[in-house]
Amino acid sequence: MLRLMLVHPRASYRAVPMPPNPEKYTRTAMLIHWLMAALVLTLIGLGWYMVELPQGPGRSYYFALHKSLGLSVFALLVLRIAWRFAHRPPALPASVPWWQRGMAHVVHLGFYALLLVQPLSGYLSSSFSGYKTRWFGIPLPHWGWRDAPLNELFTEIHVISSIALVVLITTHLLGVLSHVCAGQWTLVRRMWPW
């Protein structure tokens, strides 16, 4: 009490900052996570749908939309990596066994790797298609050229990594489901705002 009276009222605000909830990710991390999740699922559905379309304006429209959303995922990934360097993720509860910790770690690393390879391979495949790549209508610097073998190579990488991404998403969801079934809600709520 005496100490509180002695410090300047403003200083007391600074001296007692609100501690972050150590059991949860920050709001920023949650926003990036859920935005990326929604975009990646949309991109996978859109990718599978658009490659089956016949040549024409419909196909071009969906390809352009796919590229714009995919490049947005790349921008979000850069933000996510920056967040990760500046923050420590909340610790897992002590009840989580070592092998689940290890698996979660591998899956998270896999996500970072694939979410880097996926938009990059798409962008490179697009750069060697002979067409300008645009982000929601804004032309990006066009440094590539029309090169069928390079275009095919990066398309192949793009398709293979999209399959690996689906496998990883399924593993991640099964992990979440197993925690929900075991009643470990605190673990799942770390990425849930409420």
Q: Decide: is 126 part of the binding site for ligand HEM (CB under 6 A).
A: yes
Q: Give, in degrees to the nearest 5, the angle at Cα 54 between 69 and 59.
A: 25
Nearest approach, Cβ of residue 141 and ligand HEM (Å):
13
What residues contact 187, with CB distance under 8 A and at least 6 apart?
92, 93, 96, 179
Residue among 29, 76, 111, 158 that touches ligand HEM (CB under 6 A): 158
Could you give the count of Cα atoms lying within 13 Å of 54 in the half-sphere of its Cβ? 0
The SS3 assignment for 43 reads helix
Closest to ligand HEM by CB, 97 vs 139, is: 139
Residue with tokens 């925690």: 179
Contact between 190 and 30 (Cβ < 8 Å): no
Q: How many CB atoms lie within 10 A of CB 95?
A: 10
How is residue 127 written in tokens? 């750069």
Nearest approach, Cβ of residue 23 and ligand HEM (Å):
29
Q: Which of the ranges 24-32, 95-103, 158-166, 167-175 carries the binding residues for ligand HEM, by CB under 6 A?
A: 158-166
Q: Which of the ranges 5-13, 24-32, 45-53, 168-176 carries the binding residues for ligand HEM, by CB under 6 A?
A: 45-53
Q: Decide: is 66 part of the binding site for ligand HEM (CB under 6 A).
A: yes
Nearest approach, Cβ of residue 137 and ligand HEM (Å):
14
Q: Which stretches of the chain bind ligand HEM, using CB under 6 A?
A: 40, 43-44, 47-48, 51, 63, 66-67, 70-71, 73, 115, 118-119, 122-123, 125-126, 133, 155, 158-159, 162, 165
